Amino acid sequence: MKRQQQARAPKTELKIKQGQRFPLTIKRLGIDGEGVGFFKRQVVFVPGALPGEEVVCEAVKVSQKFATGKVVKLRRKSKDRTTPPCAVYEQCGGCQLQHMTYDAQLREKKDIVRQAFERYTKINLEQLDFHDTIGMDDPWHYRNKSQMQVGMKDGHVIAGLYSSNSHKLIDITDCIVQHPQTNTITKVVKQIADDLNIPIYNERKHRGFLRTIVTRVGFKTGEWQLALVTTTKEFPRKELFLEELRRRLPDVTSVIQNVNKEKTSLIFGDETIVLYGKEKLEERLGDFTFHLSARAFFQLNPVQTEKLYDAAKQAAELTGKENVVDAYCGVGTIGLWVADKAKELRGMDVIADSINDAQKNAAAHGVDHAVYEVGKAETWLPKWEKEGWQADVVIVDPPRTGLDDSLIATLLRTKPSRIVYVSCNPSTLAKNVKELVKGGYTLKSLQPVDMFPQTAQVECVSFLEYEGK
């Protein structure tokens, strides 16, 4: 009877009610760039609020574990607050920290990494090399690629990003974190589509032709690439469109059409057609040249990518005697960056096209001690070990979801001497490091790198060494 009464007992009453207003002191920055405070011991996330600020907050959404609020009044302003230079910053949602000075962004990004490790591990960060965030000299106009959704407003073509938590398309004419040339190309394509009455895709009705304008610029080469994502291969007024494009943008290197017929949020479809120019854009990182198709993954901030890869290379502590594995090799970028200090380099990726590109890139740069295979590291590491080849250093650069459990188990079984973990998600990094430490590894260093200034994202290079039995 007592158990039945307990089962029927009401849930704990929420301490915060939706629409309630209350004073709040912001203690820290959350992983998505929002201010974090506590009211009646309940955590409250407040977008736009900064650490140290005192605000009057209104609860917008309330759950058992947390509440989300908005700033109604700013009672005490942070010294780190600044005026966002972007005209659509409040509506766009692409950036989260333009209202914070850049020095403060770098400090808080290091703290975001610290918070993740304090939440998910018991590692004492004071006992290892936990470096300050590597920033940019000029934290603007750094993105080499833009993907702008296309729509109609007041009878004219617009292109931009969807507002946060909505499907309202914000027209972006001059994104100040994009390379200026990507803005120029997008603006011209909008004008031509408007002038020629090109049918624009309507997501709700699943009708229309032009869906997305994708642009990419080679920072070092000056080459420009345009990809038009369309619903059909048949291109209305194609010759007129291309004629106008050549006239208004005579220096475009590559114009691609990609066909995506599906009702999906994915940008690209499977079919790609070269409309004119080269199929691939050329870009350089350090001494390496890469050829990029419109769909190929490449780091979005080439200036910081070199710093990121340098940090990974320094962490690996290579002497020229080590067998190195690039476990998520893609087209081979990180592996090639460290190859001159490796005895032998081996890489793998589940995408066959990426491995093909990695092999070509290694050959083009005279890296003849590299081997690339299609598949997963958890398959190849034990196979190579059975053949008598042991990895000394494994470099991993996984997606935001972190390492697969099977790869962690493989690393703990094969026991490479050193692991360099390049992460774009401090939470999954901390969780994975916790498991590796349980298996005998020691975390030696953390190096945050700011790949995306004005946003809450932070990359981190971590170095682990095997010290187990």
Residues recognised as catalytic: 424
Is 411 in a helix, a strand, or coil?
A: helix
Q: Answer for the pair 456, 50: CB distance below 8 angstroms, yes or no.
A: no
Q: Alpha-carbon distance 290 to 297, whole Å?
A: 11
User: Cα(161)–Cα(175) distance, rounded to whole angstroms?
Assistant: 10
- Asked if residue 216 lies in contact with residue 293, where contact means CB atoms within 8 angstroms, the answer is no
Half-sphere exposure of 148 (CA within 13 A, CB side): 31
Q: Tokens for 364?
A: 């083009």
Strands 224-230 and 370-374 come out as: unpaired
Given a contact cutoff of 8 angstroms between Cβ atoms, the answer to whether 456 and 426 are in contact is: no
Q: φ and ψ at 449, to 5 degrees?
A: -135, 130
Q: What is the rounded distance in angstroms from the CA atom of residue 276 to the CA atom of residue 457?
A: 36
Range 206-212, long-range pairs (CB < 8 A, 24+ positions): 206/263, 209/235, 209/236, 210/150, 211/149, 211/150, 211/260, 212/147, 212/148, 212/149, 212/150, 212/267
Q: Is the CB of residue 306 less than 8 Å from the CB of residue 286?
A: yes
Residues 134/447, Cβ–Cβ less than 8 Å:
yes
> For every residue of 306-349, which 3-state class applies, written as one string?
HHHHHHHHHHHCCCCCCEEEECCCCCCHHHHHHHHHCCEEEEEE
Distance CA 298, CA 144 (A): 9
Are 146 and 186 in contact, with CB atoms under 8 Å apart?
yes
- The position carrying tokens 């057609």 is 273
Type of residue found at 80: D
Number of Cβ within 10 Å of residue 27's Cβ equals: 12
As a whole number of angstroms, the distance between CA 65 and CA 75 comes to 26
At 442, is the secondary structure helix, strand, or coil?
A: strand
DSSP 96-108: S-TTB-HHHHHHH
